């Protein structure tokens, strides 16, 4: 069965600290896609990044970086020098090539960045 | 560019009433999705459409729920009759294709059934 686990329910950091949000996924499929979404307190879901299963290159976008490791089935998200505006719930999601459009979401990690 | 537009943003109604949620996808996106978010079950897919045709409705909880997409720019999710356990945030999302394209979400409708 397919599953996404975000073991950290809540994380609290002080501004300017680095923080890593963990995501572990389970699937026997060889072709799949991984995503991160951000849900700020206002409630909308904002797309952050997509990764294909055959592309293990890590990615950096400003203060955000993502580490994809197929060997450990992990797709972790790091925020460098966190800011108060980063406070949100972050969701990792999996979509299988052979399962159409269904996104399988993790339970989310609530990040609180304090000034 | 306009994103996915959902209405209403908030809906409060009494048990037994009919509820209709509306969604306008991003222009040019062929796929439209309805998700529900609850504390207990997290985010789960209810149904999705391709070119206005329902493709997978296996996530629709029961017959009280129905969804339609009469044209490429409009979809509805209807609950009749509504029950308190239907209280949740309902999201609509759209994407141009499947596979590696991300789904872009609307702001959601927060539904409360009293």
Q: Does residue B100 sit at the A interface (CB-CB below 8 Å)?
A: yes
Q: Report pLDDT for B97.
A: 87
pLDDT tens sequence across A42-82: 999 999 999 999 988 888 889 999 999 999 999 999 999 99
Q: Report pLDDT for B99.
A: 72
Q: Do A45 and B108 touch (CB under 8 A)?
A: yes
Which one of B36, B40, B41, B102 makes the best mutation probe of the A interface by having the most chain A beta carbons within 10 Å?
Answer: B102
CB-CB neighbors (< 8 A) of B105 in chain A = 37, 44-47
pLDDT tens sequence across B64-99: 999 999 999 999 999 999 999 999 999 999 999 877
Q: Report pLDDT for A57.
A: 84
Q: Is the predicted pLDDT of residue B1 greater than 70, yes or no?
A: no
Helix (H, G, I), strand (E, B) or coil at A98: helix
Estimate to the nearest angstrom the gap between the alpha carbon of B81 and the chain centroid. Answer: 17
Residue A38 to residue B103: CA distance in whole angstroms: 13
Residue A102 to residue B48: CA distance in whole angstroms: 8
Q: Pairing state of beta strands B53-56 and B31-38?
A: unpaired
Q: How confident is the model at residue B108 (pLDDT cuts 50, 70, 90)?
A: very high
Q: How far is B80 from chain A (nearest CA, A)?
A: 25
| Mean pLDDT of the B107-114 span | 97
Helix (H, G, I), strand (E, B) or coil at B105: strand
Residue B107 to residue B12: CA distance in whole angstroms: 17
| Mean pLDDT of the A17-38 span | 96
CB-CB neighbors (< 8 A) of A93 in chain B = 43
Q: Is the predicted pLDDT of residue B21 greater than 80, yes or no?
A: yes
pLDDT tens sequence across A74-109: 999 999 999 999 999 999 999 998 888 889 999 999
Distances from the Cα of A80 to the Cα of A35, A58, A83, A90, angstroms: 19, 15, 9, 15
pLDDT tens sequence across B33-62: 999 999 999 999 999 999 999 999 999 988
CB-CB neighbors (< 8 A) of B104 in chain A = 47
CB-CB neighbors (< 8 A) of A44 in chain B = 105-108
């Amino acid at each position: 069965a397919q599953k996404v686990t975000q073991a950290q329910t809540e994380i609290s950091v002080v501004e300017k600290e680095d923080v890593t949000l963990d995501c572990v996924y389970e699937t026997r499929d060889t072709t799949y896609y991984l995503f991160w979404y951000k849900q700020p307190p206002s409630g909308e879901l904002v797309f952050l990044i997509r990764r294909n299963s055959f592309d293990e290159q890590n990615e950096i976008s400003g203060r955000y970086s993502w580490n994809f490791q197929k060997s450990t089935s992990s797709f972790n998200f790091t925020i460098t020098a966190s800011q108060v505006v980063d406070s949100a719930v972050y969701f990792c999601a999996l979509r299988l090539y052979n399962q159409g459009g269904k996104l399988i979401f993790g339970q989310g990690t609530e990040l609180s960045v304090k000034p | 560019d306009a994103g996915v537009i959902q209405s209403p943003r908030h809906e409060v109604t009494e048990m037994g009433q009919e509820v209709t949620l509306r969604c306008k996808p991003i222009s040019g996106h062929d796929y439209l999705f309805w998700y529900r978010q609850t504390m207990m079950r997290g985010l789960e897919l209810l149904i999705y459409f391709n070119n206005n045709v329902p493709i997978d409705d296996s996530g629709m909880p029961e017959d009280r729920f129905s969804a339609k997409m009469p044209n490429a720019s409009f979809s509805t999710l209807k609950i009749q009759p509504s029950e308190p356990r239907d209280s949740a945030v309902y999201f609509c999302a759209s994407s141009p294709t499947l596979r590696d394209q991300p789904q872009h979400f609307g702001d959601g409708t927060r539904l409360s059934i009293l």
